[in-house]
Structure 1
């Protein structure tokens, strides 16, 4: 069953691009989080998406949100991708696809590609937006819009 708006995000852990063990409880449920699943490091759409999140990262931070990317790429790939594009946010390795399955992220193009889905999670750990689209450029404005709604509701 896929995680949907209104669901509480289940706890998970993964290795980040620095080789550290990341526990979702360290961030989720404490602050607003943009969690985005993407197909693969160093592919045109995924690179454009990561660089767009990088270029607008300060906007996310200014709104009190953290950005975390997840793909099934391994540690070495994430390290290279992060360094090459100077990504300021965490990338998590989901090599066994457990987190992808936990969230119910679908595959795209007849099951040939891992899907591209962005979740905006509020400070209580509740999903406020799910955006499923292979159009990489659409995810950043949708996430910012959802976070601005959260911030407005908290005021």
Structure 2
């Protein structure tokens, strides 16, 4: 399961690799964003996913969409991960798993984040969600397809 498209995304505040707290309603005010939840830094699939977002970061920037990664890893681990893989976006630490839980991105009992990606529009309404625990590249590709579709809808309405 995931948050349903059309539902307002829950606001949250978490520590960030920027050195400041990140609050969705403030840091992405009036801006669309991709929020991707992932299990753990430095694991094979999570590293591939982060690198896929990094490699297509220019495309997300062209769509004027922020990219934010969230896991339960602490900030020192996120900073090492971000530096080692030259990630140009913020990573947020949800050590208690409360935000993961609010976004239906937490596996019950073992409380590890699921691999789930959300596209939120400028009002932070969920427009798309994609979940696949073992396939990282599909998350990035699905978000690019969603953004292209949104862009073509805007163009045809103009």
> Could you tell me the TM-score, scaled by structure 1's length?
0.92
Contact 1:27 1:33 in 2 (8 A): no
Aligned pairs for 1:100-119 within 5 A: 100-107=100-107, 111=110, 113-119=112-118
For residue 147 of structure 1, report the CA deviation from its aligned partner.
1.3
User: How many angstroms does 1:65 deviate by?
Assistant: 0.7
Which string of whole-angstrom CA distances, capped at 9 and with x for unpartnered residues, describes residues 14-55 of structure 1? 000132111111244511101000000000000000001001
Match of 2:39 in 1: 39
CA deviations on 1:64-93 (whole Å, 9 max, x unpaired) are: 111000000001000000000110001000
Mapped partners of 1:152, 1:26: distance in 2: 28
Separation of aligned partners in 2, 1:29 and 1:79: 25
Provide the aligned C-alpha RMSD in A.
1.8
**Is the Cα contact below 8 Å between 1:13 and 1:22 reproduced in 2?**
yes
**Pairwise CA distance, 1:153:** 2.4
Cα separation, 2, equivalents of 1:148 and 1:30: 19
Provide the rounded CA distance (Å) in 2 between the counterparts of 1:26 and 1:20.
Answer: 12
Q: Are the equivalent residues in 1 in contact too, given 2:5–2:127 (CA < 8 A)? A: yes
Structure 2: runs of 5 or more not aligned: none
| Structure 2 length-normalised TM | 0.90
Counterparts of 1:24 and 1:59 in 2: how far apart (Å)?
21
Structure 1 residue runs of 4+, over 4 Å off?
Answer: 110-113
The range that moved more, 63-72 or 111-120, is: 111-120
Does structure 1 residue 26 correspond to structure 2 residue 26? yes
Q: 1:126 to 1:28 in 2, by over 3 A?
A: farther
Which residue pairs with 1:65 in the alignment?
65
Q: Which runs of 5+ in 1 are unaligned?
A: none
The CA deviation at 1:113 is: 4.2
CA spacing shift, 1:28–1:5, aligned 2, 3 Å: farther
Q: Structure 1 residue 150: deviation in Å?
A: 1.9
